[in-house]
Each structure stands twice: as structure tokens, then as C-alpha cells.
Amino acid sequence: MSKEHSANVAALAENATIYIQYDKDEDLEGMRIIACMSEEDYFLAEGEESGEQYQVDYDDVDLENDTFYRLQKMDNQSPLLYNQGY
């Protein structure tokens, strides 16, 4: 694993809420990121449906195909805009 790959995964994992590992042959569940252990090059996650605990090594993250999601603050002053697709 390159230092650049490790740094990129750490930056994503530290700012994300959900991680989904890509597998063309299997429908994998999303994992809620619990903690990042950047010094040890892994993060801890919990399966959203199964509740299983996972340790995801940075080496196992495919930056081209895996997906990270984060939550963003919503505008409380314009809640109806969200129903209109904005």
C-alpha cells in the first residue's frame, strides 16, 4: 500500500458516515463507520442491517469502486424545498 493510498482512505473514512465495499458478484450491505485508526491503517465499521462489526484495512479499500457517504447539514429554514427536489 502506498502512503498516498493510505492518506486518501484515511481522509475519506474520517469524514464519512457510511462505507460500501464494491463487489460485482455480491450485494454487500452498507457499513456505518464507527472509528478510524489511521495510525494502524484501518477503520472500524458496523453493518447497517446485520449489526456485524468489521475492521476494514486501508489496503482492502478500492478507491475506484468503493463508495463513501457523509451526512450534510440541511437548511431548517427551507424544509419544503427538499420535497420539491432541491
Residue ranges per domain, the chain?
3-71
Do residues 18 and 69 lie in contact, with contact meaning Cβ atoms separated by under 8 Å?
Answer: yes
pLDDT beyond 60 at 70: yes
Give the per-residue pLDDT at 3: 92
Rounded to two decimals, the pTM is: 0.81
Q: Which amino acid is at 61?
A: V
Domain 3-71 architecture: Roll (2.30)
Residue whose C-alpha cell reads 419544503 in the numeric block = 80
- Mean pLDDT over residues 28-56, rounded? 95
CB 44 within 8 A of CB 54: yes
